[in-house]
Structure 1
């Protein structure tokens, strides 16, 4: 009998072990053995297993284990670069990053961590994942932000002529998100939301956000940045579109949350389409002789120089006019997009070479295009490109060794 029980016990232990091995992607012989060396840093099997499980829970596209390895190698390189530059991860920055990430799932950081732990992922894995991103962002801003920030007005204007930017109504909101992940909490949150919806004071709303909100913005009193109304969820648009500054929206049913929005400011801006810019240009049509365009280019530095060249010639040889960018002639519109003020290009007009020069771009008289928004978008794009290029350089120079072979 004892032998039978012993055998059953062994069988049960083996079954449990097989189940554990199936659920765990790597062997459990030594969870903390090194698997990758990155310069002077080590990535352990435990870190790789944890990140793999974390990415699987997030349903990351591709092979979670391959992605996990690449992420951990890059993060080791990024941490080394940040430390060498004297950048340290602050606890406040880490907490804000964790709250922001968890807020995408309408959860607090603690709720998100609890959900991860229920699925076998440690809180430290989440902290490491978010912390690496925050540290790299701070490093890139500190090292490259100042040089990247100097975006010429001409580049912003040229971007507008090529891409445009959204217009319409934009709003400056504060938010309170109340939990509604169970019927009981939803009922309690609806009752609280009904009380908070009567707030008409910005400071009172901020205090309530700090006390009750589960959103990442709670630390800022619920304050959000400017946002175009038509980019908000439809139910939020309906709730805020008719508010006046100083009013709180009605409670809004969101996924696992009850939302309230306080309107701090609102403004209507013109669409940043090409038509929002006036283009001043000069077009000098040459006599068509060989080398005529090159001779003209050599004699003009600014648009007014064309007047000297055009003296005694028929009026149609020189065109100098200001038009909305969207109303330019086709041959001019295509060539002028890439030009800055006082830059010239050669085009063909009527079968002969013509010299085109951009004199100036300026907002149309009725335009309220927000150039700062366009500039910020360009800055973020530039920093993103710089960061990607810099990481590629660091990765190419790094010593990366696979220790599993």
Structure 2
């Protein structure tokens, strides 16, 4: 019996020695692989904490893991293109990012360290951004163009969009005491997704809001836009009526707004037009009808003019208010390159609209109103204000902000009244469209990289 017991124990010990020891899931254990490149639990924890310190809207493990996966894909794409982030380039990126917090790199790194974020997590985050910026510059930027027509369409939308003067809001304030911030933020996101009508938002406000407006569904009275804090004003201006904002984290609470309605006014001169049109003198209305049947554009009408002697065709560009009333009446219903015949019984005229443009687009503006970076004119001192040495205004008055300079220039040029925001210039519009196209193309390329990657969990 002893031999049997001894043999059994020996076999058990040998089997235990041969079996692999279980490995504890430590901080450096991989949580996901992207094309065999691992992301560790430590990296994930660091990124979550980093996002929390930056007050990112989705500072949770799911969003952090998605960001880390995308960072790996960006770096892999850069390597495939032969792009390497130099030490100088990385330091410039680190300095740029720290500068957004009005710190240098060492100050920013020390501030992160005090909150539990290592320097390497900061460097990895910035390195991926610097590499991706170069990928986009080399791969995407050369493929993006912006046409004059796109710019003009955007300017027309700017002019047609009423200037908001007052808003009708509903508010919902979810308490977020210490330790419950993420739960409050999650509830705010759920409300933002599900409250697709004013009634739904009001029901959520009555249930979850902790401010006196809760019993009436969070409804506020009409509020002048100028009375809103600048940060809230920018949020509200991005909303369309009957839509809800994304949850906004503030100390001790999560806040949402529902825009019920807006009041506004048209920009001064928004309804004024400049028209470009062609008139062709012909012997009869029948000749005019035949000319219009053959010509599908103002340029083609010049070909028709060759059928007649002399100089029967004229092309004019004029404010609509300066166009003769009979011509303006016929131009009113026409689209571009559409025509009409004016028959006066003794000969006729073919009229064709070439282009209809808001007058504000053709309004000349001083260069400093549309080209940021050029020297700005000094603002005049207010009556009675003290003057500096040599009779000049104080230093603060000699360096007006770009926003003030643009507003003054626009008002002086007649583009806007003093209390209206200035119109964007063509260069500003071109830049905005260009950046939007680049961003969309970069997002599409990143989605393509993700679709082609082998992403797996351990």
Taking structure 2 as the reference length, the TM-score comes to: 0.44
Higher RCO, Cα 8 Å, sep 6+: 1
Taking structure 1 as the reference length, the TM-score comes to: 0.49
Larger Rg: 2
